[in-house]
Structure 1
Amino acid sequence: MLQHFAGNLALCGLPVTQKCPGDETTPRPPAKDDGNEAVVDEEVRKWFYAAMGISFGVFFWGVSAALLLKRSWRHAYFRILDEAWDRIYVKIAVQEARLQQR
């Protein structure tokens, strides 16, 4: 690949070895890293997981309590599940019948 650039003295910078005129500046010192970022990230992660656990518990027990206490909701929920299961079963049976016909 370097042979494509050979003989052209006006080129500078990578991938050729000649430096460009502005490349001689002193590099900036790296940012001061005292390790606090890792501690902050770990602390945020702990709070995130704690909040996720609490949210799951509240949602789960909220839905469970509603289904346990409201008979009409409980019957509607299980009716929906039963109808969904019936639709899935019919689709599978129809697909199986089509495959057996071929």
Structure 2
Amino acid sequence: MKPNPLIITVATALLGVWVVIAAAAKPGPDHIDIYGGTSGKVPFPHARHQERIQDCNVCHSVFARESGAIKRMKEQGALKPKKVMNLQCIKCHKNEKRAGKPYGPVTCSTCHVK
């Protein structure tokens, strides 16, 4: 029996709406202190990034949406040192700077607090 394309389309649309509503309902904390290894923690304005980026997966495709995920992944060897900061944060900030848009810090010592 062939699946009904209309049912598939409606189900997909409803799933999409549910995902958007669920994401909006749980925006995450306004501020997070990210584990920064021996260089010190990184105070992170989470809400500001959510407003600007609007796609949680831009960052969270690399690490889970849970407290302590970066530290745990680094300790397990699942996340290389500097991967998040260099390949995610600083890369994005530099791209925004090149595009003439407002951007965040582009050096390590600007973010890490000992």
Give TM class, smaller chain: 0.3 to 0.5
Larger radius of gyration: 1
Structure-2-length-normalised TM-score: 0.32
Structure 1 length normalisation: TM-score? 0.35
> Looking at both structures, which has the greater relative contact order when contacts are Cα pairs under 8 Å and sequence separation is at least 6?
2
Identify, as 1 or 2, the structure richer in helix.
1
Structure with the higher strand share, 1 or 2: 2
